[in-house]
Structure 1
Amino acid sequence: MEINLPEVIAEVCAAFVAYERALVANDIETMNALFWNASETVRYGIAEIQHGGEAIREWRENCAPVPASRMLHRTVITTFGTDFATVSTEFTSDETPLIGRQMQSWARLGPANGWKIVAAHVSLIPKP
């Protein structure tokens, strides 16, 4: 298995950037489109847990938008072969003294579906 093929990193980076733009813009349709809508999808949020695409969609319809001042730090994309990747990043905003951590597992689910988030975890901790 080849790790970090440049063309695969570029594809995942583009998908991650699209998700991040949608997140900051509160573009629920795009965020939902980038999550795998399947019962196996899991999202662990800061104060909530969703199991399954439908639970994620329902939660997203009712959650507060992320702060517009959100800034990413130390984003790491690692690809495994041509169809699986992880994205890890830290984030801050003007609205909290905490530092956020976000991890996503991405999978390419065929040509018609493209890259999708299949698992995600978000947490906050005090800044070091």
Structure 2
Amino acid sequence: MTAIDTPEIDLAEPKAELEAAFRRYEAALVGNDVAALDALFLDAPTTIRYGATENLYGYEAIASFRAGRSPAGLARSLEKTVITTFGRDFGIASTLFRRASAPGMIGRQMQSWVRTAEGWKVAAAHVSLIADPDGAAS
């Protein structure tokens, strides 16, 4: 077995681009901008989104979920956001979030992003909500 060379981590240009894409995603999410959210996901049958209550396989399933989702209660605050790029074309965004509508809970979100000809896209995402281990409430 041959070891894979460690990619360059957090090169300035791709990291800044992915941070900007993540900010666009967050603005689209809390603003319920479904078209922008759709544009930020990789349009492929291999794209996956595991949500708090749903398992979505493929871009079409994710877009359908977004189109039917209620726009109520989407505001949230982020904590401990970490964005890391590996080389120029892959990165991971991880964050904790809180919503006033879920006191005593903390959300966790991880996204795998890939650079495409159209820009950075989410290829896989996981969102979960758990009881806040620190006991803090929003």
Which bin holds the TM-score, normalised by the shorter protein? over 0.9
Q: CA RMSD in A?
A: 1.0
Is the CA contact (8 Å cut-off) linking 2:51 and 2:128 kept in structure 1?
yes
Q: Partner of 1:86 in structure 2?
A: 92
Is 2:106 the partner of 1:99? yes
Is 2:132 the partner of 1:127? yes
Is the CA contact (8 Å cut-off) linking 1:23 and 1:65 kept in structure 2?
no
Q: Partner of 1:31 in structure 2?
A: 37
Rg larger in 1 or in 2?
2
Is the CA contact (8 Å cut-off) linking 2:32 and 2:74 kept in structure 1?
no
The percent identity for this pair of structures is: 52
Which amino acid is 1:101 matched to? R
Where in structure 2 are the equivalents of 1:1-128 lying within 5 Å?
A: 1-65=7-71, 67-97=73-103, 98-110=105-117, 113-128=118-133
Count of matched residue positions in the alignment of Structure 1 and Structure 2: 126
For structure 1, list consecutive stretches of 5 or more residues without a partner in the other structure: none
Give the alignment's TM-score, normalised by structure 2: 0.88
Which amino acid is 2:49 matched to? R
Which amino acid is 1:124 matched to? L
Which string of whole-angstrom CA distances, capped at 9 and with x for unpartnered residues, describes residues 67-95 of structure 1? Answer: 35400000000100000000000000111
Which string of whole-angstrom CA distances, capped at 9 and with x for unpartnered residues, describes residues 19-66 of structure 1? Answer: 000000000000000001110000000000110000101111111236
Please, which moves more after superposition, 62-71 or 3-12? Answer: 62-71
Give the alignment's TM-score, normalised by structure 1: 0.95
Distance in 2 between residues matched to 1:69 and 1:24, nearest whole Å? 5
